[in-house]
Amino acid sequence: MKKILIRTLETLALPVVVYLIFLAIIPERFGNWNCFYTIFLQSIIPTITAYAIAFGNICGLFDFSIGSEQIISGVVGGLMAAKYGVAGMVLGAFISALFITLLTGILNSVFRIPSLVLTMGLAMIYEIVGSKLAGHYGFVQIDTEHAIFGSSPEIVIIFIAMLALFYFLFNHTVFGYNLRAVGSNETVAKASGVDVRAVKIKAFFYGGIFLAVSAILTLCQSGSVGAQQSLGSVTVIFKPLISVLLALVLQKICNLSFGIFIAQFTLNIIFIGLIAAGLPDTFQNVVLGIFLLIVMILFRNTERIEILKSRFVKRTCILGGGET
> pLDDT tens, 29-53?
888 888 889 999 999 999 999 999 9
- Answer positive or negative: Cα dihedral of 20, 266, 32, 22: positive
Quick one: pLDDT band at residue 278, thresholds 50, 70, 90?
confident
Task: Kindly list the distances between the CA atom of residue 307 and the CA atoms of 170, 313, 314, in Å, as whole numbers in the listed order.
Answer: 28, 10, 11
- pLDDT(285) > 70: yes
CA distance 294 to 176: 28
Residue 4 has pLDDT above 70, yes or no: no
Which range has the top average pLDDT, 138-147, 199-208, 264-273, 285-294? Answer: 199-208
- Does residue 195 belong to any structural domain of this protein? yes
| Residue 72 within a domain | yes
Asked if residues 125 and 231 have their Cβ atoms less than 8 Å apart, the reply is: no
* Total count of domains within the chain: 1
191 assigned to some structural domain: yes
Amino acid in the structure at residue 171: N
Flag whether pLDDT at 221 surpasses 80: yes
Best CA proximity match to 76, nearest among 140, 122, 125:
140
pLDDT over 70 for what percent of the chain? 91
Whether 223 is in a domain gets the answer yes
Is the CA virtual torsion 148, 150, 153, 155 positive or negative?
positive
In a domain, 316, yes or no: no
Please give the distance of CA 141 from its chain centroid, rounded to a whole number.
Answer: 25
The pLDDT assigned to 212 comes to 96
pLDDT of residue 1: 52
173 within domain boundaries? yes
Alpha helices in 172-255 (DSSP H): 174-184, 186-191, 196-222, 238-250
Compare 208 and 254 and report the one with higher pLDDT. Answer: 208
Average pLDDT score over the chain: 86
pLDDT attached to residue 60: 86
In sequence order, which residues have a C-beta less than 8 Å from that of residue 161 and are 6 or more positions away? Answer: none
Instruction: Determine the average pLDDT of the residues in 289-297.
Output: 73
In a domain, 270, yes or no: no
In 3-state terms, what secondary structure has residue 181?
helix
SS3 state of residue 61 = coil
Task: Give tens-digit pLDDT for 101-122.
Answer: 999 999 999 998 888 899 999 9
- Most confidently modeled of 63-72, 231-240, 250-259? 63-72
3-state DSSP assignment of residue 260: helix
> Is there a contact between 15 and 266 (Cβ–Cβ < 8 Å)?
yes
Which comes out higher in pLDDT, residue 97 or 248?
97
Rounded Cα distance, 169 and 247, in Å: 17
Its domain, for residue 125, covers: 43-242
In a domain, 9, yes or no: no
> In the 8-state DSSP scheme, what is residue 224?
E
3-state SS class at 324: coil
Query: Between 203 and 226, where is the model more confident?
Result: 203
